[in-house]
Amino acid sequence: MSSGSTLGVGSALHSFLVFQMEKSNCSRARQILDSLVSFLRKFIFRILSMGPLPNHIAFIMDGNRRYAKKLNLIDGAGHKVGFLAVTSMLKFCYELGVRNVTIYAFSIDNFKRSPEEVQSLMELMQEKIEGLIKDESIVNCYGVRVYFVGNLKLLSEPVRLAAERAMLATAKNSKAVLSICVAYTSTNEIVNAVEESVEEKWNQITVLEASGAGYGLIKLGGIEHHESEPLIKLVDIEKHMYMAVAPDPDIIIRTSGEARLSNFLLWQSAFCYLYSPSVLWPEIGLRHFLWAILNFQRHHSYLNKKGEQLQHLLQDGF
């Protein structure tokens, strides 16, 4: 894809020049270059907007440690560079008009890493979360409401409090949504949703029983009585998911070439397009983003049909 490689060279050149220019305080040249690249990008996005756009893109940010090893960086530096890639991707998404973005920042499985690495990641997360609250942060520039999705009780208190502050501070933003999955696995999310669904139904039955009106409901069978309404329906589980704050993703992008979900959005990924470029997360650029969007547009009619079918299934009480 020659335009893609041109853009790839352009964005790599941009990154390199930005780095050099910052050191030499050559702000004017940097501004001109920034404006040129920004203009080119917005022009391309304007063309893409003529086709269908994804409503929700999710990212599995894989490859930070391999990146650090590849460049002989110190431990933890890969993740710091990876954060720059996060801000780039968020900028692309919100500029293009993608309303919902989800990132897989820290899995419950990641707690198995060495204590030093976990500690370093927690410190980095806390620092970046506190950065989100600042006025000039990307979330405030684009009017993004931030949610921290996961079993937040597993986080250390400073990180959890920072997350809660960030959610509160961005609660008034309404143009877009950023869901940051921390201390998250999809199976944990589903277990929690099942617990809450069952508890909600149990409370409803208990209340009705106490009022003497619950006998009919208690007779509700489950799967063995087809004519009866099931106790729990799909919509009951969905509304208790941590990710109920956003629609299902249209695209899941996992970098570093690994093709697996790693316990991320298992429920929500039922119909979405899975894209796994071989690039490491800190190296992801505009060309990968554009390729994902173009492939989404190619399959959009299929996705629409599946969406309609799913609606029919929901109406049938499934």
Partner 1 sequence: MVETLTMVFSLRFSSLSLPPHNTITLYTLPHVPNHRLRSTSNVSPPSSTLLIKHSLCPCAAPTQQQHLLVPEEEEEEEELKCINEAPSLENDSLPPGLRRECMPRHVAVIMDGNRRWARLRDLPVGSGYEAGVKSLKTLIELCCKWGIRVLTVFAFSTDNWFRPKVEVEFLMSLFEGGVKDGMGSSLRENIRISVIGDISKLPKSLEELIINVEESTKNNSQFQLIVAVSYSGRYDLVQACQRIAMKVKDGIIELNDVNESLIEQDLETNCTDFPYPDLLIRTSGELRISNFMLWQLAYTELFFAQSLWPDFGEADFLEALQSFQRRWRRYGE
Smallest separation, CB 6 to partner 1 (Å): 25
Smallest separation, CB 36 to partner 1 (Å): 34
Tell me if residue 145 falls in helix, strand or coil: strand
> Is 75 tagged catalytic?
no
Q: Which residues contact 257 (CB under 8 A, 6 or more apart)?
A: 276, 277, 278, 279
Smallest separation, CB 4 to partner 1 (Å): 18
Cα torsion at 241, 246, 252, 253 (round to 10°)? -120
Site for partner 1 in 287-306 (CB under 8 A): 295, 299, 306
Write the CA distances from 309 to 19, 181, 302, 303, integer angstroms.
50, 29, 11, 10
133 binds partner 1 (CB under 8 A): no
For partner 1, the closer CB: 14 or 254: 254
Pairing of strands 176-184, 273-275: unpaired
Smallest separation, CB 272 to partner 1 (Å): 6
Instruction: Mark 248-277 with x for binding to partner 1 (rule: CB under 8 A) and - for no binding.
Output: ----------xxxxxx--xx-xxxxxxx--
Instruction: For residue 167, count other CB atoms closer than 10 A to its CB.
Output: 18
CA angle 233, 234, 235 (to 5 degrees): 90
Out of 9, 95, 111, 134, name the contact with partner 1 by CB under 8 A.
111
The per-residue b/e assignment along 181-215, b for 16 or more CB within 10 angstroms, e otherwise, is bbbbbbebbbeebeeebeeebeeeeeeeeeeeeee
Which letter does DSSP use for residue 222 in this model? -
Asked if residue 56 lies in contact with residue 98, where contact means CB atoms within 8 angstroms, the answer is: yes
Count of residues that bind partner 1 according to CB under 8 A: 59
Instruction: Mark 41-60 with x for binding to partner 1 (rule: CB under 8 A) and - for no binding.
Output: --------------------
191 binds partner 1 (CB under 8 A): yes
Site for partner 1 in 193-232 (CB under 8 A): 194-195, 197-199, 201-202, 205, 218, 222-223, 226, 230-232
233 binds partner 1 (CB under 8 A): yes
Residue 130, both tokens = 């506190």
As a whole number of angstroms, the distance between CA 202 and CA 28 comes to 65
- Only one of the segments 36-44, 82-90, 123-131, 188-196 lies at the binding site for partner 1 (rule: CB under 8 A); that segment is 188-196
- Only one of the segments 78-86, 102-110, 128-136, 170-178 lies at the binding site for partner 1 (rule: CB under 8 A); that segment is 102-110
Which letter does DSSP use for residue 125 in this model? H
What are the catalytic residues? 62
Residues lying near partner 1 in the complex (CB under 8 A) are found at 107-115, 118, 151, 154, 185-188, 190-191, 194-195, 197-199, 201-202, 205, 218, 222-223, 226, 230-234, 237, 258-263, 266-267, 269-275, 295, 299, 306, 309-310, 312-313, 318
